[in-house]
């Protein structure tokens, strides 16, 4: 890395950029002291300096590992990525894809378990070193669900490439560990349905699937090679996904007074929520659909369902909004003589991004000639979309340019089969192997990653405490955190 580039990175690192994770004045005020502590932590750990040092070292074993990763990508995994790309399956229905992927793993002697955490298309595959399991456990996450539009399923988010990328890196690393007598395990997590709720990774995490991993790594196709700013945040706000099911009593239209109308309850609730919008802070984003509303006009609807995504920049005020919405649903049920069942089926939270791993991966991407590099870091966000896993396990999401067109487009699908995609995926696998090699072989990096993660996780709790104090007078009662 050139001196001017390094200076630019340092300038960015110590400018007050972490503040971009906080969206409102209240959040910025609550985060002020915490951001100072993050700055002090980063100044001490010096992730950019450490990254430049690690990337600059010459290491024949690491070079051989990266060459083998390239070879595996070019000889097998690129074709596998294309095959999955041409055979898209949407979330929770990725049966053929999982069969294809797990057949490759079994063929290489990996121990495969399909249907983990009660999810039919989730899997875990484990490789144990012939030198023994007593070492690190390196975890790699791969997604494989497709999007759907009016023309059917398509891989417009390039999830087709994710698991083949992970395979190229993991298989090369396993060969390296076996050849060097390095004990430990490598685990590949097949995580379904990223594009549809409920969030599979949260379910898998709550079932303990990721337990024991020392590090989690993944990649995602993007339009710029970039890294996330250190700190906590989420790409798309904190979210509660909540389903409100109203249950009434059926009756014939001509004697409707014998029934209790669940659809009317749902409509009252939907209207009540609109009436609450001025009571909520303007950064709230609340959108819902009435997904069930009865079967026939001449029968009083017995069951109606309203499905809401409730979003707010932080989880503390989000809990307040959600509580008021739950109460509105109960009020609508009471008014109509129906009952309501409230099912919060999904939660997305601020995730943690680590400077140590972000800078290292970014520096390797640069050294591997990744195209279209964004000089400025992105808003902080976790390495996986739920944020929940990132709070407990340190990790990194690798973002290498692999498409000229935006995510979730047919153009991105085209690029998944083109040189743009193939090159980006190869560099993603090479970057992944480089980072995993350093984590495996450099205790000083492991210590820095663990310390940074521990401190940031603690600061995230402190940030939420500060927000609870900041909002206390406004909502007139303590806000339960969720």
**Min CB(88)–Zn ion separation in Å:** 13
Helix axes 25-45, 443-475, angle to 10 degrees: 160
As a residue count, the chain comes to: 482
How far apart are the C-alpha atoms of 465 and 482, rounded to whole Å?
12
Stretch that binds Zn ion, among 124-132, 157-165, 409-417, 451-459 (CB under 5 A): 157-165
Radius of gyration, CA atoms only, the chain: 24
Smaller CB distance to Zn ion: residue 55 or 432? 432
Instruction: Examine residue 384 and tell whether it contacts Zn ion (CB under 5 A).
Output: no
Minimum CB distance to Zn ion, residue 243 (Å): 23
Task: Compute the C-alpha angle 187/188/189, nearest 5°.
Answer: 115
Closer to Zn ion by Cβ: residue 89 or 157: 157
CB of 147 to Zn ion, least distance (A): 9
CA 274 to chain centre: 30
Range 15-74, binding Zn ion (CB under 5 A): none
Residue window 180-219: x/- pattern of binding to Zn ion, with contact defined by CB under 5 A? ----------------------------------------
Count other C-beta atoms under 10 Å from residue 142's C-beta. Answer: 22
Of the two residues 161 and 328, which places its CB atom closer to Zn ion in the complex?
161
Q: From the list 157, 214, 241, 430, which residue makes contact with Zn ion (rule: CB under 5 A)?
A: 157
The helix (H) or strand (E) run that includes residue 222 is strand 215-222
Give the nearer residue to Zn ion in terms of CB position, either 24 or 407.
407
Q: Which stretch, 106-114, 155-163, 182-190, 236-244, contacts Zn ion (CB under 5 A)? A: 155-163
- From the list 8-16, 104-112, 156-164, 473-481, the region that binds Zn ion by CB under 5 A is 156-164
Residue closer to Zn ion, measured from CB, 162 or 284: 162
**Cβ closest to Zn ion, residue 246 vs residue 401:** 401
Report which of 68, 93, 187 is spatially closest to residue 136, judged by C-alpha positions.
187
State which residue, 156 or 294, has the beta carbon closest to Zn ion.
156
What are the angstrom distances between the C-alpha of 167 and each of 24, 39, 219, 312, 361?
41, 36, 12, 36, 18
Helix (H) and strand (E) counts in the chain: 15, 14
The CB density around residue 3, as the number of other CB atoms within 10 Å, is 7
- Closest approach of Zn ion to the CB of residue 145, in Å: 8
CB of 220 to Zn ion, least distance (A): 6
Half-sphere exposure of 261 (CA within 13 A, CB side): 18
* Buried/exposed 282-307: b ≥16 CB within 10 Å, e otherwise: eebebebebebbbeeeeebbbbbbbb
Stretch that binds Zn ion, among 28-36, 154-162, 352-360, 396-404 (CB under 5 A): 154-162
Output the residue with the shortest Cβ distance to Zn ion: 157
Give whole-number Cα distances, 20 to 129, 228, 355, in Å. Answer: 43, 11, 15
Nearer of residues 70 and 219 to Zn ion, judged by Cβ? 219
List of residues contacting Zn ion (CB under 5 A): 157
């Amino acid at each position: 890395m050139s001196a001017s580039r390094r200076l630019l990175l340092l300038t960015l690192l110590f400018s007050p950029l972490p503040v971009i994770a906080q969206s409102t004045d209240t959040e910025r005020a609550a985060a002020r002291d915490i951001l100072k502590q993050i700055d002090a932590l980063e100044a001490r750990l010096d992730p950019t300096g450490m990254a430049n040092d690690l990337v600059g070292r010459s290491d024949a074993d690491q070079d051989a590992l990266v060459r083998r990763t390239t070879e595996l990508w070019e000889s097998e995994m690129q074709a596998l990525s294309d095959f999955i790309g041409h055979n898209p399956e949407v979330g929770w229905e990725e049966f053929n894809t999982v069969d294809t992927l797990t057949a490759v793993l079994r063929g290489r002697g990996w121990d495969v378990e399909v249907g983990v955490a009660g999810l039919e298309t989730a899997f875990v595959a484990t490789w144990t070193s012939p030198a023994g399991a007593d070492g690190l456990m390196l975890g790699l996450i791969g997604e494989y669900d497709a999007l759907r539009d009016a023309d059917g399923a398509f891989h417009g988010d390039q999830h087709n490439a994710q698991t083949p990328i992970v395979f190229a890196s993991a298989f090369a690393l396993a060969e390296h560990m076996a050849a060097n007598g390095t004990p430990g395990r490598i685990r590949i997590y097949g995580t379904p349905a990223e594009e549809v709720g409920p969030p599979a990774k949260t379910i898998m995490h709550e079932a303990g699937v990721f337990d024991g991993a020392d590090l989690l790594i993944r990649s995602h196709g993007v339009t710029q090679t970039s890294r996330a700013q250190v700190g906590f945040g989420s790409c798309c706000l904190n979210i509660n996904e909540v389903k409100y099911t109203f249950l009434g009593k059926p009756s014939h239209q001509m004697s409707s007074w014998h029934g209790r109308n669940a659809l009317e309850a749902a409509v009252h609730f939907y209207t009540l929520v609109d009436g609450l919008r001025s009571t909520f802070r303007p950064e709230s984003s609340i959108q819902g659909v009435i997904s069930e509303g009865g079967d026939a006009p001449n029968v009083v609807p017995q069951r109606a369902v309203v499905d809401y995504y409730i979003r707010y920049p932080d989880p503390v005020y989000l809990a307040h909004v959600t509580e008021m919405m739950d109460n509105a649903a109960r009020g609508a049920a009471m008014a109509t003589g129906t009952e309501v069942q409230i099912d919060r089926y999904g939660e997305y939270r601020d995730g943690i991004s680590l400077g140590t791993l972000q800078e290292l991966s970014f520096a390797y991407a640069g050294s591997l000639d990744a195209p279209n590099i964004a000089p400025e870091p992105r808003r902080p966000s976790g390495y996986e979309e739920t944020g929940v896993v990132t709070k407990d396990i340190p990790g990194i999401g690798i973002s290498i340019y692999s498409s000229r067109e935006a995510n979730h487009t047919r153009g991105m699908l085209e690029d998944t089969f083109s040189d743009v995609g193939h090159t980006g995926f190869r560099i993603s696998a090479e970057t992944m192997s480089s980072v995993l090699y350093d984590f495996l072989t450099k205790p000083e990096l492991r210590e820095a990653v663990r310390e940074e993660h521990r401190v940031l996780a603690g600061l995230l709790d402190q940030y939420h405490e500060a927000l609870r104090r900041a909002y206390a007078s406004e909502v007139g009662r303590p806000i339960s955190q969720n």
